[in-house]
Amino acid sequence: MKYCANCGHKINNNQSFCNNCGAKLHDFQSNQQSNHNKIDKVRGVNDRYTYHYRDNNQHKRSGFGKVLIAILAVVILGLLIYGLYFAYHQFKSHNSSNGTTQSSNTSDDNAHGAQIDIFSDTFDQSYIKAPSKDGYAEIYNGMSRSGVETKLGQSNGTIYLQGSTYEKYGDLAVMYDEYDDVSQVIITPSNITEDDYIEHYGEPDDREGNTFIYDAYKDNDFSVLVTIKDGMVLAIENVDQLPSNSSDDSDSNEVSSKSEARAIANDVLDSSDWIHSVDEGEFSYRVNYGRENEDRAHRAIIVEKSDGRTSEWDGDEWDY
């Protein structure tokens, strides 16, 4: 059963006109079909447009995603490179810092001065059994204070020995002249007892007060003096050969070394006086000294070589 598209009246399948409103059924149906076809065509176009729009949008979104991923990849790669660069420089800086610390430690080590093992074979052969009157451990008479401190760092104290003041650099002590040049070098070991020294080197050949004298061989040109204080070794000196003290020696009063002249002058000076240096002439020694509160050695004791007699220098030209 069909219905008229114009009035809705029931019609037969073979009718050409509606018996109610008289409308031509075929034209209306064709128009209707045409309209349906147009609608379908429009829908197809719309579907294609929608598909094309969706496809373009999807393509655009896909392209944007790729661009975003590329940007993120570049950022991540940049951060990775920067991280590696930063880590490398941190590592390099750390190593450099370690190197600085090691340099600083080295400097600190130098600041403690020379470290000398007085019981070693090296010290025994080069200082106890050989003349070392002009210095030791690369510090020698005539060297400037700056040269000493370049090698050993700053002084870590002073010691007072036989009327003279020495700057201490670890196990070495140095006396400077008025020009800040080295005039004498002695050994000042740490924590060595009198008994330890004697056990290693044996009993001294002679003693004068708190000083041990090691001088078994009179045919060489040096002696070793060891000063003891409160049971500890204060200083070790390698000095000019000391004269023999034997009773049958006709020249027993003769003074033959600067160290002996220094010792004689020290006996006649006040305990607060300090000896700066000793000059040797043909007939006498001039022992230069200063008073307690003086910073220069303006005074001197003359010690005669022939008999050890002493006199105060009058400040005039010294008669050698």
Percent of the chain scoring above 70 in pLDDT: 77
191 within 8 A of 182, measured Cβ to Cβ: no
Please give the Cα distance from 275 to 266 (Å, whole number): 8
- Cβ atoms within 10 Å of 238's Cβ, excluding its own: 23
Q: Which of 64, 92, 108 is the last residue of a domain?
A: 108
Q: Assess whether 303 and 274 both reside in one domain.
A: yes
Please give the Cα distance from 185 to 139 (Å, whole number): 7
Q: Assess whether 199 and 318 both reside in one domain.
A: no
- Cβ atoms within 10 Å of 259's Cβ, excluding its own: 22
Q: Assess whether 97 and 208 both reside in one domain.
A: no
Residue 223 burial by Cβ neighbours in a 10 Å radius (0-12, 13-18, 19+): buried
Query: Which residues touch 266 (CB under 8 Å, ≥6 apart)?
Result: 162, 163, 275
Please give the Cα distance from 92 to 96 (Å, whole number): 6
pLDDT exceeds 90 at position 195 = yes
The per-residue pLDDT for 42 is 56
Report the pLDDT averaged over residues 64-88: 83
What range defines the domain where residue 222 resides? 114-242
Query: Any idea which residue has 């349906």 for tokens?
Result: 36
pLDDT exceeds 50 at position 105 = no
Flag whether 18 is in a domain.
Answer: no
Query: Any idea which residue has 């019609």 for tokens?
Result: 11
Q: What's the 3-state SS for 218-247? A: CCCCEEEEEEEECCEEEEEEEEECCCCCCC
Q: Which of 231, 237, 229 is nearest to 128 (CA)?
A: 237
Flag whether 17 is in a domain.
Answer: no
Percent of the chain scoring above 90 in pLDDT: 32
Q: What is the pTM of this model?
A: 0.47
